[in-house]
Structure 1
Amino acid sequence: MKPNNPSISIIIPVLNEEKLIGKILKHIGQTSSKTSIMEVICVDGGSRDKTISIAGLFGAKVIPSKKGRARQMNLGAQNASGEVLYFLHADTFTPNNFDQLILDAIKEGYESGCFRMRFDTKNPILRLFAWLSRINHTLCRGGDQSLFIKRNLFHKTKGFNEDYLIYEDTEFIQRLYKQTKFKVLPNHVITSARKYREKGWLKVQFHFGMIHLKNYLGAGPDELYRYYSKKILN
């Protein structure tokens, strides 16, 4: 680790991710400098496949948790030792030298931020929505873009709101925008469009848009989850 460089703890919430978690963990090693990553923590929400064993094989620390991404990420943060926390979804691939890009932003005085995003698809509509991730506004934020945050700021802001079973990333980032200067890094993470392929891209994008609108109009976490369960899960 370079002198005066803060260390990074990567936190990945997982649940039945045996098909991807090994690829993600291998890719993390290939795209980082190996000098600033203190640990990779996979917080497991009750996987019934080989997720836990695969994560262990790739050197990740596995922590059992109750199901719920907000709860899992908060638990990961509680057990993290790094000065910078980096929250990453289990189907999102990091850009080259992502750790140094994060540390450079920290040195510039930013306490939180994310990367731009691309989907692993050529669908023009999804590519358009991914293009919007370059805009530094809460309407263009989401967990698929990953999130870095200084650990002391995470604890000061009390982390993710565990009342949210969906939308927990966006709700947290909206609070960060009000309290600190948020950095959108120009490099891209690549995230899976698997939910769009499974459910239909038009259906999923429309209903995610409605969830954004409902949140803007004041809907709480229970109402958002009921809508998500009815319109997307079913």
Structure 2
Amino acid sequence: MSGSRNLPMVSIIVSTLNNEGTIGECLKSIFELDYPQDLLEVIVVDGGSKDSTVTLAKNFPAKVMVKLSSAPEAYNYALKIAKGDIIGIIDADAKVERSWLKKLIVHLSDPKVAGASGTIKTWNRERALPRCIGYDIEYRYSRIKGEAKRVATMNLLLKRNVLEEIGGFNEALPTQYDTDLGVRITSRGYKIILDPSAKCYHFNRPTWRSYFKQQFQYGKNTLRLYLKIPRLIKGDAITDFSMNIQPILLFLSVIFALLGFFNNLFWIISAALIFILFGIFIF
């Protein structure tokens, strides 16, 4: 894919919801990509932000639309109007290096490769909690050697025809849809490549409250995903078994804590689950 005449049209989709603190840097990094601007389309789908996210997004030459939706619903909606043969997904709280797109797109010249993703670094690493979350993410991605069964959609390049072939994103999963997507892609014999030279910087949850809220949602949707595909619970290169059950334990501990108001036994169960959770986290 050398020379701009041989480069494909790329449509990058960004799903937003109350991302005023990061959307500016996110879109700035996209429009500064080392890629012909006439071959780059950026679509922002906002899920109903209460802050200035939409106003800030409109400062950039992107197609900005408001549609009350989850992230997978937003991606499927944008896919219908996107012009590109290559679809890029970048989170609203992430930014990419200038060479990100060109480093990833070369992998898609292989007919067996459906997608490519870059490695994930921490954007807000000056704070302790985001830095620790970042260490965990970087460790998980360091376990992948070239080919991955699945990757996070915070920085992902996909062939449009493959995405349409598998039916797009699973709208029944507000989170964990990326795992579901990877399984459906690779089960058809396609590959997903992780290129560590293509870097993405993610703004990790800055507070314990926001982090546990996120993990609670992960746990709920992880349970739904495992009921659909039980074999996933054994883990993979990104998430082994002990990592897999952490969000589930958090989700169940909260549920049992609430049930404890009706029967004290449930508080004991909740405390036991939290003890197990922190034991896994520490060791």
**TM-score bracket relative to the smaller structure:** 0.7 to 0.9
Separation in structure 2 between the aligned mates of residue 61 and residue 209 of structure 1, nearest angstrom: 30
Residue in structure 1 matching 2:118, options 115, 118, 128: 115
CA-based RMSD of the aligned residues comes to: 3.1
Q: Name the counterpart of 1:71.
A: 73
SS at the partner of 1:57? coil
TM-aligned CA deviation for residue 207 of structure 1: 5.7
Q: Bigger shift: 75-84 or 113-122?
A: 113-122
* Superposed CA offset, 1:38-61 (max 9, x none): 211001111222222211111110
Residue in structure 1 matching 2:141, options 126, 133, 137: 133
Separation in structure 1 between the aligned mates of residue 115 and residue 25 of structure 2, nearest angstrom: 26
Residue in structure 2 matching 1:192, options 200, 203, 206: 203
Q: Which amino acid aligns with 2:199?
A: H
* Superposed CA offset, 1:177-197 (max 9, x none): 212111111222110112x53
* Superposed CA offset, 1:164-187 (max 9, x none): 122112211221121211111122
Q: Which amino acid aligns with 2:170?
A: N
Separation in structure 1 between the aligned mates of residue 20 and residue 218 of structure 2, nearest angstrom: 30
Indicate the structure whose relative CO is greater, using CA pairs within 8 Å and at least 6 residues apart: 1
> Is the Cα–Cα contact under 8 Å of residues 22 and 94 in structure 2 kept in the other structure?
no
Whether 1:38 aligns to 2:40 is: yes
Structure 1 unmatched ranges of 5 or more: none
Q: Name the counterpart of 1:174.
A: 183
Q: Name the counterpart of 1:10.
A: 12
Whether 1:99 aligns to 2:101 is: yes
Q: Bigger shift: 57-66 or 82-91?
A: 57-66
- Please identify the structure whose Cα radius of gyration is greater: 2
Structure 2 unmatched ranges of 5 or more: 230-247, 256-283
Q: Which amino acid aligns with 2:201?
A: I
After the TM superposition, which parts of structure 1 deviate over 6 Å for at least 4 consecutive aligned residues?
Answer: none
TM-aligned CA deviation for residue 133 of structure 1: 1.4
TM-aligned CA deviation for residue 14 of structure 1: 0.6
Residue in structure 1 matching 2:61, options 59, 62, 65: 59
Separation in structure 2 between the aligned mates of residue 15 and residue 205 of structure 1, nearest angstrom: 14
TM-aligned CA deviation for residue 131 of structure 1: 2.8
Distance 1:164 1:27, change over 3 A: same
Distance 1:51 1:124, change over 3 A: closer
Q: Which amino acid aligns with 1:41?
A: I
Separation in structure 2 between the aligned mates of residue 113 and residue 208 of structure 1, nearest angstrom: 26
**What is the TM-score with the length of structure 2 in the denominator?**
0.68
TM-aligned CA deviation for residue 124 of structure 1: 4.6
Distance 1:142 1:208, change over 3 A: farther
> Is the Cα–Cα contact under 8 Å of residues 175 and 218 in structure 2 kept in the other structure?
no
Q: Which amino acid aligns with 1:98?
A: W
